[in-house]
Chain A
Amino acid sequence: MFVAATLALLATLALTLVRALKGPTVFDRALAANTVGTVAVLLLAVMEFLTGRPDFLDLAIVYGLLNVVGTIAVLKFFRYGDLGEPGEGPEDR
């Protein structure tokens, strides 16, 4: 049962990676990276039931948080060209 879910998630990962490699614009790649992160969280949750180790769920929570922060940081970099110097606030951009 869990093996079927794992295989489906691995297939999703493969298709998302194809989009990441093929994506014409850089935002397709950011979208693919975001989807890979979400599917990785699901894969961790399913693996927790396959191997019976409860600590995978904590990993999944942390990975979900990191994924969002990473996506937002990458998007800020694409939009403004840099992540901003420490002294440079929004008012003096």
Chain B
Amino acid sequence: MAADSTRPAAAIAAPSTLRLFWRDFAANRAAVAGLAVLVLLALAAIFADLLAPYSPYEQFRDFVRVPPVWDARGNAAFLLGTDEVGRDMLSRLIHGARLSLFIGVAVVVASLALGIVLGLVAAFFPRWPAIVILRAMDVILSVPGLLLSIVIVAIIGPSLANTIVAITIVTLPNFVRLVRAAALSEKTRDYVVAARVAGAGRLRIMFRTVLPNCMAPIIVQAALNISNAILEAAALGFLGLGAQPPTPEWGAMLASAREFLQSASWIVTLPGLAILVTVLAINLVGDGLRDALDPKMRSG
């Protein structure tokens, strides 16, 4: 677990400060708890095929809407019950973890990569490239996020892949602005001037000299954006504009089970609970990272 959790720090800190980082991070017990939950979720997602007792798509027609096992009418064969067409809830939730975490990571990796390039360009080429990039980000930011992703998905069609594209576009300005601001403040430091005097090229200064020193706030932002992306993807799924049934995406599961809210509430409550726990765990880790990486942003 320790090796896993310190991996993000490896990118920004020399090995000697790694232990320092872990000490700061571990001081926040809530963050460690969040990390533990997150690791469990990640393991469930990776080994979904081994862990899930059934296929998430298999319909047991004789066992439709069986309540979870703690209910008197429950069935030990289906620990968390079955849904409206007799699919095993546990299996669907486990496979849903894979989808949701994948969406979150994919969105953040894509917008992080694009955001770093665009943000650095905006910081180092202040004339028209910066103006074009920043104006484009202003345009994205002036349409409310969820609304923009709804419109994008409506245009390119509702699907899991398009959900990722839409949320990446919506998330992009956060990273571009953050990278640019961080790069601008680093750019004038002595070590950058020294690198330039020593004859380092512009690309080298951008990516090798400045970027590593901007990573702390970027990593915190990345962590918090994973949870945001998961929430938005679930919201799109819930509106019928994200992953399409029968995909076991948590938001889509909620939407298709809505009419059973009264008679079979577990079909609705469990996927939502899964979203809440996942997002909460990631936010706890994000808060912990922020406290450990950036003393200035410490919440108190």
A binds B: no
Q: A: which residues have CB within 8 A of B?
A: none
Q: B: which residues have CB within 8 A of A?
A: none
